[in-house]
Structure 1
Amino acid sequence: MSTAPEIAALLPDPAQLRAHLRALAVLDSTIGDDQQFCTYSFDAAWGPGEEAALMENGSGDDFSVLFTPAGVLIRGFDHESEMSPYGTDDEQVWPGVIDEVPAALRPVLDEPAFRDEGIDVPRVTVCIWRETGDTAWRTGSAIGFPDGSEDPDGSGYLFHLLTDRSPETVRAHFEDYYERPVPLDAVRHVLAGHPLNPAIVGALNPGVL
């Protein structure tokens, strides 16, 4: 079973995670021909002292990784998960998912961007966090995951490129999404944090001007 605690154990430290998410956004925006179809983005000016990495697949699933002075909060939503607020009788967040989020990071969940009209709770099925100065990622400690699913909270599906950060896996994802070959060396270049240059841009998207 893939759940938030298992995923949290596979995440890198916040600085490495930030660099990887920025690289995913660069790859997506470079490989793609139309920005509206990109799934990964990075906002370096989300708020005062805050940055946000976002993923939205256009099918109702999304996640956000908010980097704040107080720490990092990862919020994910799998619309097909039994743990979705829309799947509960009282339209509440699944018990235990956000109950232990530290007070300093709690305001992130209250942002309008992560709430839907007509429902007064965050759009969330999985939540992971790490306060500044902490040495590990944390999740709710008393979540009763529903039976019958290998990925009950959607964490394995949503965060697969955050737990397996290899160039090969990242390339396979974008090749599948854009349905065309993507050169591995160019993916390695971007994931390593090197700046884009005309040769890399042309390799990632031969049709770009």
Structure 2
Amino acid sequence: MSTVHEIAALLPDPARLRAHLRALAVLDAAIGDDPRFCQYTFDTAWGPGEEAALMENGSGDDFSVLFTPAGALIRGFDHESEMSPYGTDDEQVWPGVIDEVPPVLRPLLDEPAFCDEGIDVPRVTACLWRETGDTVWRTGSAIAFPAGSKDPDGSGFLFRLLTDRSPEAVQAHFEDYYERPVPLDAIRHVLAGHPLTPAIAGALNPAVLSSGTRPAR
């Protein structure tokens, strides 16, 4: 069984996670032809002193990673999970998922973007957090996960590019999503934090060369 408890041990520190998520957003924007279909985005001005990495797969699943001076918070939502608020009788967050989120980070879950109209709780099936100065990622310690599922809270598939951050895993994801080859060397270049040069942008999306479109920064 894969749950947030296993995910927590595989995540890097917030600084490295932030850099990786920014690289995923750059890659998604560079590989794709239409920003409306990007799954990974990064907002450097989410709120005062806050940044947000966002993922939406277009099938009802999403996650957010919020970086603040007080720490970082990861919220994931698997719409097919039994742990979804929509799957419970009282439309409440599954017991234990967010109960232990520290008060300094708890308001981040109440962002309107993470709450659907008609339901008064966050859209969440998996949650992790790490306060500034902490040395490990935390999760709810007393979650009774539903039996019969290898990925009950959706964290295994939601966060797969956060736990396996290899260029090969990232390449496989974008090749599957965009249904065309993506050169591994270009993936490695962006994941290493190097600038998105015109040559790298053209390698990631040959249409850039024919259209003359300038690469996003």
TM-score (norm 2): 0.96
Amino acid at match of 2:46: W
Cross-structure match for 2:200: 200
Amino acid at match of 1:156: G
C-alpha RMSD of matched pairs (Å):
0.3
Deviations 1:25-73 (A, max 9, x none): 0000000000000000000000000000000011100000000111000
Cross-structure match for 1:99: 99
In 2, distance between residues paired with 1:63 and 1:121?
15
Please state if 1:10 is matched with 2:7: no
Q: Tell me, what secondary structure is at the counterpart of 2:10?
A: coil
Deviations 1:72-122 (A, max 9, x none): 000000000000000000000000000000000001001101000000000
Deviations 1:121-141 (A, max 9, x none): 000000000000000000000
In 1, distance between residues paired with 2:53 and 2:92?
25
Cross-structure match for 1:149: 149
Amino acid at match of 2:163: T
In 1, distance between residues paired with 2:106 and 2:14?
18
Cross-structure match for 2:81: 81
What aligned pairs does 1:6-155 form with structure 2 within 5 A after superposition? 6-155=6-155
What aligned pairs does 1:156-167 form with structure 2 within 5 A after superposition? 156-167=156-167
Identity in percent: 86
In 1, distance between residues paired with 2:44 and 2:195?
17
Amino acid at match of 2:143: I
Per-residue deviation, 1:174: 0.1
Q: Which runs of 5+ in 2 are unaligned?
A: 213-217
TM-score (norm 1): 1.00
In 1, distance between residues paired with 2:114 and 2:16?
24
Runs of 4+ residues over 6 Å off in structure 1: none
Number of residue-to-residue matches in the alignment: 209
In 1, distance between residues paired with 2:120 and 2:3?
25
Q: Tell me, what secondary structure is at the counterpart of 2:52?
A: strand
Per-residue deviation, 1:21: 0.1
Amino acid at match of 1:48: P
Q: Which runs of 5+ in 1 are unaligned?
A: none
